[in-house]
Structure 1
Amino acid sequence: MNPTSLWRGVLPAITTPFAADGTVDHAFLATHARTMIDAGCVGMVPLGSLGEAATLGFEEKLAIMRTLVQALGDRAPVIPGIASLSTDEAVRLAREAKTIGCRGLMVLPPYVYSTDWREMGAYASAVIGATDLPCMLYNNPPAYKTDFLPAQIAELAAAHPNLQAVKESSTDVRRITAIRHLLGDRLELLVGMDDAIVEGIAAGATGWIAGLVNAYPKESVKLFELARAGDSKAADKLYQWFLPLLRLDTVPRFVQLIKLVQEQVGLGNERVRAPRLPVEGDERAQALDVIRHAIATRPEL
């Protein structure tokens, strides 16, 4: 496999489905992953923010990796998110991922504790250096309070040849330009905020770690392909339909909202793991208005 092919295309940040008893629904997880690959997605990224990784135990995470590796086989790589409260546990998770058969890693900042570059850089370096698997650094300062600046990313890239990509979720598409200016083609750049995908591709991104793809896989792949091809008129038309949904990925209860969309279109259920609870009241009503309008006006591809 071309090493950069891991990072080029639409890679779902797959949600973690739960059964009525609160356990992970592995049967649906496998089916859902195959559905998205059938639609043209190029890999699977479990155990990220949207995957509710912070509420999953260590063994649950390993079981999810195994299910996806078995479900997808050689069709597409599984690239799990690696995040933990401690460096030691994150390193163990990274090493187990390779043993299970995952073909890459998405390296998140540690949960809860975030300070300065000396400590956050040491954490990222320890996880990336724990394996020879290709790695993608996940920069999401709104969620994790750690902001990997372009110069710091360059430092990690110089130290670790297996750091191949960055998922950029700072909400500032200028970061993609800045990283490319500093590092050229050394790293693949992927958009991590759904409502910045067209702008991110225009700035030079080659991949999309997508959220609403869990409910609209074909539309997500089509939008990505149109934007990459430079078909601005067709991309803009599809983007305008999609944007109200894509903006659900950028609010605090994005997990609940994306799962609600999945349930409404028949690609999952809205069960989440506490402390999250399903949305209700005005927030739910407003979200359902957006979802139902999207369903009623869904374009033909």
Structure 2
Amino acid sequence: MLLDPTAAGLFPIAPTPFTPDGRIDDASVDTLIARYLEAGATGITVLGIMGEAPKLEPEESLAITARFIAGFGKLPVIVGVSAPGLAAMRWLARAAMDKGAAGVMIAPPPSLRTDDQITGYYRQAIEAIGADIPFVIQDYPLTLTVQMTPKVIRQIVEENPSCVMLKHEDWPGLEKISALRAFQREGSMRPISILTGNGGLFLDFEMERGADGAMTGYAFPEMLADVVRLSKAGRREEAHDLFDAHLPLLRYEQQQGVGLAVRKYVLMKRGFIASDAQRKPGSALTPAARAEVDYLLARLAARDARARLAA
């Protein structure tokens, strides 16, 4: 199944589970797959920034990709293939597609500054991996420091027919979603899927601005799936009520430097993974931080029973 512009729903960004000694935990990968499917995932993204992809050897990256593809069956698996060099990007992209991936995600390198540099990079990247591979633009200026205007995104989409999706995680970025959807309505940009990141921090209004769903890794994927579903059904108050209940934990998880540690800790407490270990170099929560997360989970349990599993 190849990725196309109709993709929607929840595509969790999968963390890479490790044992405390730094080995990949295959059993936890299988548990993650099962729990994401139970949560309502309509696809998944592996080897993203929060998946600790740079810490993996090429063979490990491909093995994890293959395991998720097998576990998700007919549902689409997107593989992050961003790399400093185009040769490495091409190898992983082609190898992942040979394993059955639905498409790949490409982030711009932090060195890009001008619009011409950004659009030129994507032309070169697609020439390297092949125009037959559907790809996702990752727009994450807070981490990557590359600023893409709506017009630049439109140019990338129009110049590269294999572009089928934008992973939108600009901040603030609601107006960018509106601008892109306006381009589509006026006919100056063909339709693409827009899935949003930022840990789900703005998902409530992103859906109302025209997003098709979420591609992020918050430790309660069920909430993300529910907000997407309720928003699409026009049940605005229910969507916002559920989102608001989770907002304190969402905010806490978005702290720079410890966000992945928080996410893995909660996923471990919920039984998604066996250990919250990160492969070195990595961060870890202090006892005080763990106590704060536990407090937030206990408060959340009063409004969402699914948090009682972690209390």
TM-score computed with the length of structure 1 as normaliser: 0.90
Distance 1:93 1:159 in 2: 23
Q: Deviations 1:213-241 (Å, cap 9, x if unpaired)?
A: xx323332112111121211211211111
Aligned-pair CA distance for 1:190: 1.3
Counterpart of 1:92? 91
Residue among 253, 259, 280 paired with 1:254: 259
Q: Name the aligned partner's letter for residue 97 of structure 1.
A: A
CA 28–191 in structure 1, closer or farther in 2 if over 3 Å, else same:
same
Distance 1:25 1:128 in 2: 33
Counterpart of 1:264? 269
Counterpart of 2:28? 28
Structure 1 segment 186-225 matched on structure 2, within 5 A: 186-193=191-198, 194-212=200-218, 215-225=219-229
Aligned-pair CA distance for 1:41: 0.7
Distance 2:123 2:58 in 1: 21
Distance 1:8 1:260 in 2: 28
Identity of aligned residues (%): 26
CA 224–121 in structure 1, closer or farther in 2 if over 3 Å, else same:
same
- Whether the 8 Å contact between 1:10 and 1:41 is mirrored in structure 2 is yes
Aligned-pair CA distance for 1:46: 0.7
Aligned-pair CA distance for 1:5: 6.7
Counterpart of 2:294? 288
CA 39–57 in structure 1, closer or farther in 2 if over 3 Å, else same:
same
Counterpart of 1:18? 18
Distance 2:222 2:166 in 1: 24
Q: Which has the higher contact order (CA 8 A, sep 6+)?
A: 2
CA 300–192 in structure 1, closer or farther in 2 if over 3 Å, else same:
closer
Counterpart of 2:125? 127
What is the RMSD of the two structures over their aligned residues, measured on CA atoms? 2.2
TM-score computed with the length of structure 2 as normaliser: 0.88
Q: Deviations 1:38-91 (Å, cap 9, x if unpaired)?
A: 3211001011111111222222211111111122222x1111112112222122
Distance 1:149 1:121 in 2: 11
Matched, 1:47 2:52: no
Distance 2:287 2:37 in 1: 35
Question: Gaps (5+ residues) in structure 2?
Answer: none
- Whether the 8 Å contact between 1:248 and 1:258 is mirrored in structure 2 is no
Q: Name the aligned partner's letter for residue 23 of structure 2.
A: T
- Whether the 8 Å contact between 1:150 and 1:178 is mirrored in structure 2 is yes
SS at the partner of 1:263?
A: helix
Distance 1:285 1:113 in 2: 39
Aligned-pair CA distance for 1:163: 0.2
Q: Deviations 1:109-147 (Å, cap 9, x if unpaired)?
A: 23x544433333333233334231221111000011112
Matched, 1:174 2:179: no
Distance 1:293 1:210 in 2: 23
CA 133–2 in structure 1, closer or farther in 2 if over 3 Å, else same:
closer
Counterpart of 1:102? 101
Residue among 229, 242, 247 paired with 2:246: 242
Q: Name the aligned partner's letter for residue 118 of structure 1.
A: D
